[in-house]
Amino acid sequence: MSFIQSKDFEGRICVLIDQSTGKMLSNGDTVKTFRGECLRLTGGRAPHKPSSEGKVWVQEPGRAFGAEYYAGVIGAQWVRLDETSEEK
């Protein structure tokens, strides 16, 4: 599995991390929404402007279609790759 990466509004490479653990998230990871729904992470887009938190793409198990949420809905956030403490 590969870590989820995207370029932000300044062209910097960002990675998606779990806010509670600080670990980088990967495609296929199982995540929970603040409502307790279990979803499979399929990708995302880093913030496109300074006031944005970025988006994540998820899929419900057993469903053919996906959904797009703000990163905070699954307890995640986008950070610059050079600001992460985890090994790359």
pLDDT digits (tens, 9 = 90+) for 20-64: 999 999 999 999 999 999 999 999 999 999 999 999 999 988 887
Nearest CA to 37 out of 58, 16, 15, 64 is that of 58
Domains of the chain: residue spans and CATH: 5-81 (2.30.30)
Mean pLDDT (whole number) for 72-87 = 84
What pTM did the predictor assign? 0.86
Half-sphere exposure of 23 (CA within 13 A, CB side): 6
Residue 86 pLDDT greater than 60, yes or no: no
Cβ(78)–Cβ(47) under 8 Å? Answer: yes
The model's confidence at residue 88, banded by pLDDT at 50, 70 and 90, is very low
| Count of Cβ atoms closer than 10 Å to residue 14 Cβ | 25
Q: For residue 63, what pLDDT is reported?
A: 81
